[in-house]
Amino acid sequence: MLPRFPSMFFRSLSIAAASIAVIGLQAPAANAALITNGFTFAVASAGGSLATGTHFHSNTGGAFGNPAGKAEVGRYFSEEVRGLSEYDLAGLSNAASAFVTFNVFKAGGLFSGANDTPFTGSITVEAYAGNNLEDLADYEAASLGTVGSFAVSPAGVSVGDVFSFDITALFNTAIANADSSFGIRLRADPVNPDSEAWTFDNFRLTTDNQCVGASCDVPEPATLALLGLGIVGLAASSRRK
């Protein structure tokens, strides 16, 4: 024969369960990843000097008919080409983690028949303070630090491959400095002597622990503990009745 329990006991459990469910609905996770797309372009030097950017190889104007939003890295005859991507920092705050990620668009440069052969070597990724504009001066803008580097070769890298770099410390420094934009610059290191290049696109910044709006108002652990005690007290009071 099954034991009998007072109906009030079941009612108190139902109240407690309902209260827990309400708390669950009111406490969404705060660690939501936020993706910011990069503003990407390519700048080249000219006139024999590799220190100053003089014209675009990829930009929204498309002076040479090249597609916009591409980061070309390497050489075009006597020119050095650097790929750049900037991220608007408006509305962003300190992150528990921040990563810059991009894809290989082409094993070669943007000029068919001229520099469409990929080189074998290393590409360095640098950070700089951007301005959310396609700016020729970003080619030589002061470096805020080296993000990292990666090796490229026709045998080891393919179109569609993905590269990702942890920029948490540099990103949080930019936030602390109230910078309007965070930029990264890809350059061949050392500069390849031949007219060869690689091209990258789909640049994005992924930041974790970003809160926007009222959805981030999650109760503190102490508040949740008090709410839990309230639920237990409510159940106990119902049992006494």
pLDDT, tens digit, 9 for 90 and up, residues 150-208: 999 999 999 999 999 999 999 999 999 999 999 999 999 999 889 999 999 999 999 99
201 and 236 housed in the same domain: no
Q: What is the pLDDT of residues 193-232, one digit of tens each?
A: 899 999 999 999 999 974 544 444 444 454 444 445 444 4
- Asked if residue 1 belongs to a domain, the reply is no
Question: Using CA atoms, how far apart are residues 171 and 183, in angstroms rounded to an integer?
Answer: 10
Residue 138 has pLDDT above 70, yes or no: yes
78 and 23 housed in the same domain: no
Can you give the CATH number for the domain in which 55 is found? 2.60.120
From 60-69, 144-153, 176-185, the region with the lowest mean pLDDT: 60-69
Question: Domain range for residue 183?
Answer: 34-210
- Structure tokens that stand for 227 in this block: 């709410």
Q: Looking at residues 102-115, what average pLDDT do you find? A: 96
- Asked if residue 119 belongs to a domain, the reply is yes
How many CB atoms are closer than 10 A to CB 196? Answer: 21
The band of 51, judged by pLDDT with boundaries at 50, 70 and 90, is confident
Q: How many percent of the chain have pLDDT more than 90?
A: 67
Cβ atoms 88, 208 nearer than 8 A = no
| pLDDT at residue 31, rounded to an integer | 56
| pLDDT at residue 170, rounded to an integer | 98
Question: Using CA atoms, how far apart are residues 66 and 57, in angstroms rounded to an integer?
Answer: 7
Give the predicted TM-score (pTM) of the model. Answer: 0.75
71 and 113 housed in the same domain: yes
62 and 77 housed in the same domain: yes
Angle at 127 between CA 126 and CA 132, to 5 degrees: 130
68 and 145 housed in the same domain: yes
Cβ atoms 181, 41 nearer than 8 A = no
| pLDDT at residue 169, rounded to an integer | 97
140 and 44 housed in the same domain: yes
**DSSP 8-state assignment for residue 111:** S
Residue 90 has pLDDT above 50, yes or no: yes
Q: Looking at residues 4-30, what average pLDDT do you find? A: 42
